[in-house]
């Protein structure tokens, strides 16, 4: 079963421990959302701008269309078998070495990332 979540305002929501599987996450507002131990599998993202912190998360077999990570600290986050990572935009983002390696392996455009 696919779940489509679109055009919602999730500002300041806490998605700690949430799992998104087999769906689409489209045109949602996610300002200051808590992403901790959040898992995305087989999820399509479009028209999303992430900000804040992404910690201990998992993105596997996801697709990214018009996605921006802006002023985000991304730590201990797993990216595997994702599509369209080359088109993801990173603006003023900080990542740890492990997350950087996963992004590089997914052929992401690493411009805008600083390794801390």
Q: In this prediction, what percent of the chain has a pLDDT beyond 70?
A: 99
CA distances from 112 to 44, 75, 100, 106 (A): 22, 15, 12, 16
The pTM assigned to this predicted structure is 0.93
* Structure confidence at residue 39 (pLDDT): 97
CB 84 within 8 A of CB 106: no
The residue behind tokens 């992430």 is 50
* Structure confidence at residue 81 (pLDDT): 94
Q: Is the pLDDT of residue 90 over 60?
A: yes
**CATH class held by domain 3-115:** mainly beta
The residue behind tokens 């979540």 is 5
Task: Locate the domains of the chain by residue range.
Answer: 3-115
* pLDDT, mean over the chain: 95
Q: How confident is the model at residue 42 (pLDDT cuts 50, 70, 90)?
A: very high
CB 79 within 8 A of CB 101: no
Tell me the C-alpha distance between 82 and 72, whole Å. 19
């Amino acid at each position: 079963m696919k779940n489509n979540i679109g055009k919602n305002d999730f500002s300041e929501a806490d998605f700690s421990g949430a799992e998104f599987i087999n769906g689409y996450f489209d045109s949602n507002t996610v300002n200051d959302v808590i992403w901790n131990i959040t898992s995305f599998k087989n999820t399509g993202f479009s028209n999303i701008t992430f900000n804040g912190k992404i910690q201990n998360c998992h993105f596997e077999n996801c697709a990214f269309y018009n996605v921006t990570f802006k002023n985000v600290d991304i730590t201990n986050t797993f990216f595997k078998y994702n599509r369209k990572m080359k088109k993801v935009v990173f603006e003023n983002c900080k990542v740890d070495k492990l997350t950087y390696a996963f992004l590089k392996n997914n052929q992401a455009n690493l411009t805008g990332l600083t390794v801390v």
